[in-house]
Structure formats: structure tokens, C-alpha cells
Amino acid sequence: MSGAPLRVALLGCGTVGSAVLRLLAEQAGDITARVGRPVEVAGVAVRRPDRHPGVPAELLTTDAHALVTRDDVDLVVEVIGGIDPARELMLAAFSAGKSVVSANKALLADDGVALHAAAAEAGVDLYYEAAVAGAIPLLRPLRESLAGDQLTRVVGIVNGTTNYILSRMAETGAGFAEALAEATELGYAEADPTADVDGFDAAAKAAILASLAFHTPVTAADVHREGIAAVSATDVARAAEIGCTVKLLAICEKVEGERGASVAVRVHPAMIPTSHPLASVGGAFNAVFVEAEAAGQLMFYGQGAGGEPTASAVLGDLVAVARNRVAGVAGPGTTAYAGLPVAPMADTPTRYHVSLDVADVPGVLAQVAQEFAAHDVSISTVRQDGAGEAATLVIVTHRAPDSALSATISRLREMPAVRAVTSVLRVEGLA
Amino acid sequence: MSGAPLRVALLGCGTVGSAVLRLLAEQAGDITARVGRPVEVAGVAVRRPDRHPGVPAELLTTDAHALVTRDDVDLVVEVIGGIDPARELMLAAFSAGKSVVSANKALLADDGVALHAAAAEAGVDLYYEAAVAGAIPLLRPLRESLAGDQLTRVVGIVNGTTNYILSRMAETGAGFAEALAEATELGYAEADPTADVDGFDAAAKAAILASLAFHTPVTAADVHREGIAAVSATDVARAAEIGCTVKLLAICEKVEGERGASVAVRVHPAMIPTSHPLASVGGAFNAVFVEAEAAGQLMFYGQGAGGEPTASAVLGDLVAVARNRVAGVAGPGTTAYAGLPVAPMADTPTRYHVSLDVADVPGVLAQVAQEFAAHDVSISTVRQDGAGEAATLVIVTHRAPDSALSATISRLREMPAVRAVTSVLRVEGLA
């Protein structure tokens, strides 16, 4: 329990960074006991030192590069976010023999392979539990607890902003724009909500999850991405009618095809049955559902964002890399030995829910069914509700290549008997 | 990816052991890639070699002690269960410098401190993720992911048999005996269900969870334990009336009292609100709800038993200890530095639900309320339903020391105006 303190360079001191500082101070005794040596802050790199009155002035610096390479720094915590300068600072830290704890999903999703290689070459650690699903222990379980199993599927609600918006749409019947405005007012959505609403944030997390789950390099650019801006009140109402709820899902699957296994990674809104464990994950919470061959179904649930929850994950990693430093080792790195190809969305098997307003004349259902059959799409259920001279058809398909389903929808839109395609959403988690 | 194979001694070859053997064989390539060296089976210790026709004869032995100390064995997997001879074999393995992976909740709950000390002295690992909640990654997240946080509460459904029985009672209105008989017939309960039904299994798991969560030695004998045999159909019906469901909970809490912090660990049936994340954990599933100061609320969910799920957890640990062996290190041990006292159940704050049949005469409620007040127990809600000359009182209290609540109940049973105390259960998770 003694020995020289391990010294940490903190890069960035926003919501997460200041929570890290506070928790490090509050828990100094416990962290010393858990690591075997004290852990103290060597310096804090920020852009505007005058904006951090709570941080001792002698710790503040604007020269992050000098800080990470200082001889009296053992470990680096990077909570700046974004690609640059975080990438250069991380690489400089590795070159100087320092392990890094990061919460940077964008950077890890963009360039994880090169960063892992640099850390491995330097014999140091790169841990980033906080980058996906905030406080929820997820990456370590995937990387270590399930290391003796074969993962087949990871499905997550990994963006709290969109989950809040979709939860409110379901509760109030509001449309997307109205629910977004409420989320912005309450601080659940940022002034520019693009990264959340258009699925960029979830796609970065999906890339990280897929890489770990399938030991395969996957970048954010490999992820098929659709946001929630096109989800309508009608979609949400139609979902409820078939016992489902609409969620923005990050889905990572191993797909066995004729040419061997591949990895499909996608982010899009989908209907899931209300009985599914993910369906009741409301508000700003995150949850990730994992399927493995031996373990079966697992779920991890908790707060996906916020200063304190994210700092909890950062500090868990910091204790781990500090222990490794004390032991003189690096922890298990991330392996990409499987090197599976990423399947294009067109080939990925999905299921669709489609609602149509049709003319209520004999033969319409047969015409519609024929269009699905022509694309080799098998129908699971059809419900037809007549109303005067119009009728509504609600169709849920079996699994088929996504391209066959989207092609079918395009053709339906052109059919004279189809007055309107009122709702199209993929369906996940149905038996 | 090369080097001499790491060789494993498998102790026990029942449901879990045979699943471990099968998965090790099926995933040999992946495990080699993840560990950096092949992992192969050196021998399998069983009592009756003739009962294991699927295991190559040259691997089978009845001399477990000789197997664990053999020079060509690097790692030991113990899935015999029970205290003896598992304890001696584990200590022999440590003395011989071999890390151990175990699924043995009874032994770890009984003697964890001494076993951890022996492993630490030998500089080897003792991992036992499979001992609690089967396939659910739980101990590693508690020990590592949350190492930078302060846990305040761990509440789990950690016994699938009792959860199945209580789920069926809620679904069908059956009494305990009937639901147990069904569980036995379907193979969810053992011929002698004592360990499950009376809470011994859950208490062992609670002791392990409390030890890890609070860095404090807790044994099964420290755990206040009540089983589900006394849970009646009336209890289940009363729970539903107040928007709750009955679960057997393992509860580990840090309690701040006048004489400082202590740890309260208990297993008993309780009513929880149907909106609580644990309430929807049905059938044979397990789930553990964790509260930490910075992380907030987390939940882990999955299969708590069965050969394959348990083997998944064993293999995850096996990959970890194998990696450590390749790196020439031991992983982070379990610390008990906090050494908090264990609070007696009498002092532990709980809440009660009480249903009473009372004479419908003026002043009964006042008399009953006076009895709670006399014990310094504050009432949260009362509902009174009249029916002819009798009435029913349903009371939910605020938190009070458990002894004050149980003393109040004893006094109520003696009151002339109280015809019967029809249901008493603790309530957890209410706001």
C-alpha cells in the first residue's frame, strides 16, 4: 500500500474531466488501497485556464503535448473528445511509454486499429470503457468475461438523446420535431443534435462494439446508419398496434453466408416487441443486449452519459491501468485476429413492418402479396382493416436481404391500388 | 500465437465440466488466438471414470490431488462444488504455483479470505465468475470496472429455482407447494430443494457479492437468510394489489450508522414495484441491480445456471488466467482492506408491508397506528377496505430498524381487534 504515487495527466476538463478530478480526490484512500500506490494528478491540459477556477492553478497548462510526455507523468486520461488533437496526444503518450484511458468514441471508432497497434508496440494499455454506454461495464465484459465464448449478436440502445425522444413520442403521441424541441429545452439534446439524431454517435459506438465482439476491425464508416428524424407519430402508433415499441438500435451481428462468415453492423430505428428486455429501457438510459453461443442472452443496463457516470467508467479503467503499471505489465489488448469482412447492408437479413393504405377492392391483398413474393420476401403476418372504400394493410415479413425488402417497398409505392405507404420500419427481436 | 500449450487440470466432469470440455475443443482456435498460446486439457479428475464415456480414457483419473500437482499442469478448473475435497485441492494447486478457476460458491462464501490469501501468497490467480449468477459478467465488473467508484447497494435475483417458483405463483395464483411441485417436475428444482428454497444458495452468493462490493470479508454465516417456503398465495396477491411483485432478493448494502459504516447482507422474499427493473426478471433468469455513487444504477441480466452458461463464465476466467500466465503475472486480487463490520439484521433498516383482518369497529385504525408509533415506526400508506363487520388494513411502513418492525408485528398479533395478520413481507425499491 505504499510506494511512489502514480501520476496522471488529465487532458480536458469539461463535465467528465472535472468529475474525474473530484472523484479522484474524494476517493484517494480507496484508490490507493485498490491500486497499491497513491494515484495523483500531475497536470490538467485545457484550452482556457481562466475557465477552471476550481482546479489548482499550478496544475493547469495549455500545452497538452508537453504534459503527456513529461517524465513525472505515468498515465494519461484523455477526455477532450474528437479526432484532433486527441489522436496525436494519444500517440505521443504511447511513444513516451504511458498508458492511456480515453472516453473518445469518435477517435476509437475511426482509428482504433492503429491506436491499439501503437499501444501494443509500446507495451502500454489503451482502455476506453467510457466510450460506449457511459457507466455501464460493457467493453471489459465483452473483452474478458466472454473471452471463452462465441458472440453472435450485440444489440444496444446506446444513445440516450434519441431514446429520450422516442420514449416521449410513445408516451405523448408527439411527432419527432415536438419531442426533439422538448428534449432540447430539458437539456437532453444538444443545440446541434445532429450527432445524436442522425445516428453518428450510435454508429461510432456500434463500430467499437462490433470490433470487440467479433475480433474484427470495424470503423464508423463501415456502419450502415439511419437516424430517427424520419420516425413519425404514425410509426410509433403502428408499433404499439403490433405490440412493439420504436427504439434506435445499434446492431452488430455475425452473419453466416454462402461465402463464409461476415459481420453486419447497423444503426437504425426499429420496432421491438414490448416484451423484449430492451423495450422497457426508457428515457436517457442505455442498455446493451448480448447473445453468445454458450452464455445465451445477457443484458447490461445503466446510465449512458453524464459527467459522474462517465467518470466512474474512466476511473475504473484508471485503476486497472494503474495496477498494470504497478505490476509492470500491459493488460490484454484488443485482438482483430478474426478479420471478418463487413457485410453490406443490402445483403444483411432484416425484417420489415409495412403499413399501406389501399383501395378496398377485391384482389388488392393478392397484388401486394405477389410483389413480396416476386422479391423472394416471405410474409409473416398480414392484418387487413377495412374502412369504407379504403383499407389498411399491416404486413410483417420474415427475414430477407435488406435490398429485397427495400426494393419491394419501392415497387409498392408505384402500385395503383396502393394509395400510400404510411409506415415502414424494420422489426427486431420478434420470435 | 505460438509457444507451448498451457495445460489445464479439470476437476469434476458433471454438467458444467463436460460443457467446459466441449467448448474448449470447439473453440480451440479462438482461444489460442485470444490467449496467445494453445490451451489443452491435461487431465480430468472424476470419481467414477466409467461414467464418462465421452472423455478420452487417458485423460481420466480418480486421483485429483496428483493431477493438480503434476508438473505438466499449468492451470486448474474446479467444478466439483462443495467444501471438501475442493478446498484441499485448491490449496494444493496454489502451493504448486497453479492458478485456479472455480465455480464453487459454497467454498468461496465459506472460506474466501483464506483462499485469496493463499493465492496471493503463491502469486497466482483465483477467479470464480461462474460462482455467482452463472453466465452474467458480474464479479469482474464489480472488481474491476467499478474499482474507481463507491458501491452503495447490490440487489440481486441470484437463484433461478426460487425465481421460477415465485413467477409461477404470480402467474397462476398457485401456492408455494403447488408451484414447487411443478418446478420439480420440470427439472427447475432439485429433488431436495432445500439449498434453493431456504435461501442457502442465494446467501452464499450474497456473501461473495458483499465481499467484492465493499472490500470487506463477509461469509455465508454473516448473511441473514429467509427462504420462500412461507410465501403464500395471499402474499403474492397482496403484492399485486399494491403494484408490486414478490422476489427472493439478495441484498448487500452499506449502512451508515452512528458508529460509522457497516455492511448489511440479507436474503429474503420481498415485494418490489412492478416498475423496478428487477420485477420483470422472470422464470429461471438472474439479474443483479447495482447502485454506485458516481455510476448510478446499473443492472446485469442473464442466465444464472445451466451447463453451457456456467461454462461460458468458467472459460472467460480461464482465458484471463491463461493470459496472466503467459504474461508471467497474477491479476488483481480481491481486497478486504475496508474491513467493515457486518450489521445485525435487527439494526438493518427495512420497510414492511402488513395486511391485517380487523374488526370493523371505530378506533381500530387508531389502535393499530398507535402500535407502530410505539415502536417508532412511521407509516407510509394505509388502505382500509370494509366488508360487513370485518375490515382489511393494508399498511406499508417507512424505513425502520428491522427489529422495531418485527416487534410491532408481534404486538399486532396479540391485539384483540386484530383477527389475523394475513400477510407480512418486506418491501424494497419503493421511492
pLDDT at A41: 98
Domain with CATH 3.40.50.720 in chain A: 6-134+307-327
Query: Which positions in chain B touch A137 (Cβ < 8 Å)?
Result: 137, 140-141, 145-146, 298
- Calpha distance A390→A393 (Å, rounded): 10
Please count the other Cβ atoms lying within 10 Å of the Cβ belonging to residue A278. 22
B149 and A312 within 8 Å at the Cβ level: the answer is yes
What are the start-end ranges of the H helices in B198-306?
200-214, 233-241
pLDDT at B235: 97
Architecture category of domain A6-134+307-327 in CATH: 3-Layer(aba) Sandwich (3.40)
Which whole number is the average pLDDT over B406-428? 96
Q: Is the pLDDT of residue B4 over 90?
A: yes
What are the start-end ranges of the H helices in A154-303?
160-172, 176-185, 194-197, 200-214, 233-241
**ipTM of model:** 0.93
Kindly tell me the sign of the dihedral angle through the C-alpha atoms of A112, A117, A122, A124. positive
User: In this structure, are residues B336 and A322 in contact, taking their beta carbons and an 8 Å threshold?
Assistant: no
Q: A224-225 and A260-273 as β-strands: parallel, antiparallel, unpaired?
A: parallel
How far from A200 is each of A175, A183, B68, B358, CA to CA, in Å?
A: 21, 18, 52, 62
- DSSP for A304-355, written as a single string: --SHHHHHHHHHHHHHHHHHHHHHT--------TT-PPBPPGGGSEEEEEEE
- Calpha distance A100→A113 (Å, rounded): 15
- Calpha distance A273→A245 (Å, rounded): 6
**B307: Cβ–Cβ under 8 A, 6 or more apart, which residues?**
B15, B16, B18, B19
**A144: Cβ–Cβ under 8 A, 6 or more apart, which residues?**
A332, B140, B316, B319, B320
Backbone φ, ψ for residue B392 (5° rounding): -115, 135
Interface probe, candidates A145, A167, A334, chain B, greatest B C-beta count within 10 A = A145
Dihedral, A212, A214, A220, A221 alpha carbons, nearest 10: 160
How far from B75 is each of A329, B71, B209, B387, CA to CA, in Å?
A: 20, 11, 25, 68
pLDDT at B2: 59
CATH number of B6-132+307-327: 3.40.50.720
Domain with CATH 3.40.50.720 in chain B: 6-132+307-327
Domain with CATH 3.30.360.10 in chain A: 149-303
A312 and B146 within 8 Å at the Cβ level: the answer is yes
Please indicate if the annotation marks A14 as binding a ligand. Answer: yes
Helix count and strand count (H, E) for chain A: 14, 17
Copy the grid coordinates of residue A256: 453466416
- DSSP secondary structure letter of residue B223: S
SS3 A54: coil
**Residue where the block lists cell 477532450:** A80
Q: Is the peptide bond before A85 cis (omega within 30 degrees of 0)?
A: yes
B147 and A314 within 8 Å at the Cβ level: the answer is no
Copy the grid coordinates of residue A308: 459522474
Q: Is the pLDDT of residue B1 over 80?
A: no
Query: Which positions in chain B touch A314 (Cβ < 8 Å)?
Result: 148
pLDDT at A2: 60
Q: Which of B98, B205, B247, B254 is catalytic?
A: B205
**A215: Cβ–Cβ under 8 A, 6 or more apart, which residues?**
A335, A336, A337, A338, B30, B33, B34
Query: Which positions in chain B touch A140 (Cβ < 8 Å)?
Result: 137, 140-141, 144-145
Copy the grid coordinates of residue B365: 385504525
Query: Which positions in chain B touch A312 (Cβ < 8 Å)?
Result: 146, 148-149, 292, 294-295
Distance from CA of B122 to the nearest CA of A (A): 15
Query: Which positions in chain B touch A16 (Cβ < 8 Å)?
Result: none
Distance from CA of B182 to the nearest CA of A (A): 24
Distance from CA of B35 to the nearest CA of A (A): 9
- Calpha distance B320→B75 (Å, rounded): 11
Percent helix / strand / coil, chain A, rounded to 5? 40, 30, 35
Nearest chain B residue to A333 by CA distance is: B34
User: In this structure, are residues A75 and A5 in contact, taking their beta carbons and an 8 Å threshold?
Assistant: no
Q: What count of residues does chain B have? A: 431
How far from B132 is each of A38, B32, B229, CA to CA, in Å?
A: 31, 27, 22
CATH 3.30.70.260 fits B348-427, yes or no: yes
**A75: Cβ–Cβ under 8 A, 6 or more apart, which residues?**
A6, A7, A8, A9, A39, A98, A99, A100, A101, A318, A321, A322, A325
Nearest to A135 among B277, B280, B298 (CB): B298
CATH number of A149-303: 3.30.360.10
Nearest chain B residue to A301 by CA distance is: B299
Nearest to A296 among B303, B327, B337 (CB): B303
SS3 B413: helix
**B26: Cβ–Cβ under 8 A, 6 or more apart, which residues?**
none
Domain with CATH 3.30.70.260 in chain B: 348-427
Q: What is the mean pLDDT of each run of 10 residues along chain A (431 residues)?
A: 87 97 96 95 97 96 98 97 96 98 97 96 96 95 94 97 96 96 94 96 98 96 98 96 96 92 97 92 92 97 94 97 92 86 96 94 90 97 83 95 97 95 95 74
Spatial CA neighbour of A424 closest among A277, A270, A282: A270
- DSSP for A185-228, written as a single string: HTTSS-SS-HHHHTSHHHHHHHHHHHHHHHTS---GGGSEE--S
**B37: Cβ–Cβ under 8 A, 6 or more apart, which residues?**
B1, B2, B3, B4, B5, B6, B322, B326
Please indicate if the annotation marks A13 as binding a ligand. Answer: yes
Architecture category of domain B139-303 in CATH: 2-Layer Sandwich (3.30)
Q: Is the pLDDT of residue B61 over 60?
A: yes
Question: What stretch of H or E contains B198?
Answer: none
Nearest chain A residue to B214 by CA distance is: A30
Query: Which positions in chain B touch A335 (Cβ < 8 Å)?
Result: 33-34
A145 and B313 within 8 Å at the Cβ level: the answer is yes
B332 and A311 within 8 Å at the Cβ level: the answer is no
Q: Tell me, yes or no, if A205 is annotated catalytic.
A: yes
Which whole number is the average pLDDT over B158-175? 96
For domain A345-427, give the fold: Alpha-Beta Plaits (3.30.70)
Burial of A241 (0-12, 13-18, 19+ CB in 10 A): middle
Chain segment B354-381, per-residue pLDDT in tens: 999 999 888 899 999 999 999 999 999 9
User: In this structure, are residues B142 and A137 in contact, taking their beta carbons and an 8 Å threshold?
Assistant: no
Chain segment B290-347, per-residue pLDDT in tens: 999 999 999 999 999 999 999 999 999 999 999 999 988 888 777 889 999 999 999 9
Spatial CA neighbour of B394 closest among B431, B429, B368, B430: B368
Nearest chain A residue to B276 by CA distance is: A280
